[in-house]
Structure 1
Amino acid sequence: MDLLECRLDINDLDSFVADLTAIGERHGATLQTVDARYVADRRHLERAVELADRAIERGENVARDRAVEILLYAAGRRQIDRALEMGVGEGENRAVVLIDATPHSDSKNGSDLDAARAAVTELEAFAGTEPTLDQQDEDVLRTFFDITDAERAATDASLAALVRERVALLDVEK
């Protein structure tokens, strides 16, 4: 899995999503773009990919598309509409583009992921690389993932660990 931390300036969201889909198909990769404000850390997205793949392997997935299933887990939600709140929108975005080899694809080597990454950077919407996971907005994460003051007081776990717990608990809530 590769993460491209960047700025995006999206004029047409549907066109941007279509471009990502085409890049993924061309390079044997799954691409999912999320608003960086909703990502606790790299491990948050790694865990979402692991659990989405497990759900797909077991036939327990909600979404037909792997990228959407990954988004569901990353958001800790089973409703696609609610999970899409974590995605990027038209205009300027601080984002993370997740690029992962599509399971059972003939194109699983790093050069294909590198090519997919390069193709993303050539999109019109790509405004440049930028560290987007170096600092989290605790209020945004706590609100989006429904992490209460009482929950924070009851544990010494980090906020990122609590977010990852929400990702993992999605299987329990099915």
Structure 2
Amino acid sequence: MRLYQGEIYIENVKEFLKKLPDGCVLVNADYVVDIESLGFAVNKALKSWQEGKRISRSLSMEILLHISATRQINRAVKIGVGEGENRVIVVDLNDCSELLRKHGFREGQVLQMDEEKISRLKEFYEIADEELDMVGEEKLGMLVRERMALFAASK
């Protein structure tokens, strides 16, 4: 598994996603607290997949479900790509980097934390202000991983 960051412009999401092999997942960087949390979720998804305890029909969707810590596909796709310019973290299980470059992917740092992103993550992962105040913003990744672990354990 390889995780890398960058930007890509997508004109038609459905057509673009059809070209990607299963196991090549682009995650909206605005919903990724840190690489450690992303790797944690991907490993949980791979374990579920290998043990036959999967939720979805595709490995890519299984990964998105674990990253988003939900069984709801419509909620999980919110953390995927959209039309236009996308800042993404790529989960690459099938060496799709060359294919992505052919479609205009530019590798580079896109993970950054600001108040808007913290607010978005708190809302998406249903983290209460009191919970974050108790542990501090530097532990936001831990709270997100906790949601992911609870999701994986509840299947």
TM above 0.5, yes or no, is yes
Question: Does the CA contact (< 8 Å) of 1:4 and 1:96 recur in 2?
Answer: yes
Aligned CA RMSD, in angstroms, stands at 1.7
SS in 2 for 1:96: strand
- Say whether residues 1:32 and 2:10 are aligned partners: no
Alignment of 1:89-104 (within 5 A): 89-101=82-94
Distance in 1 (alpha carbons) for counterparts of 2:153 and 2:2: 28
Tell me the equivalent position of 1:144. 124
Distance in 1 (alpha carbons) for counterparts of 2:80 and 2:25: 9
* TM-score calculated relative to the size of structure 2: 0.89
Distance in 1 (alpha carbons) for counterparts of 2:120 and 2:151: 20
Give the % identical residues: 32
Query: Structure 2, unaligned stretches of length 5 or more?
Result: none
Query: Structure 1, unaligned stretches of length 5 or more?
Result: 25-29, 102-112
Distance in 1 (alpha carbons) for counterparts of 2:12 and 2:4: 20
Aligned residue among 107, 113, 116 for 1:135: 113
Distance in 1 (alpha carbons) for counterparts of 2:90 and 2:69: 18
Distance in 1 (alpha carbons) for counterparts of 2:152 and 2:3: 24
Deviation at 1:127, TM superposition (A): 4.8
Q: Which amino acid aligns with 1:150?
A: E
Structure ID, larger Rg: 1
Tell me the equivalent position of 1:110. none
Deviation at 1:164, TM superposition (A): 1.1
Q: Which amino acid aligns with 2:106?
A: G
Question: Does the CA contact (< 8 Å) of 1:8 and 1:94 recur in 2?
Answer: yes
Distance in 1 (alpha carbons) for counterparts of 2:90 and 2:46: 18
Alignment of 1:12-23 (within 5 A): 12-21=12-21
| Count of residue pairs the alignment pairs up | 152
Question: Does the CA contact (< 8 Å) of 1:4 and 1:98 recur in 2?
Answer: yes
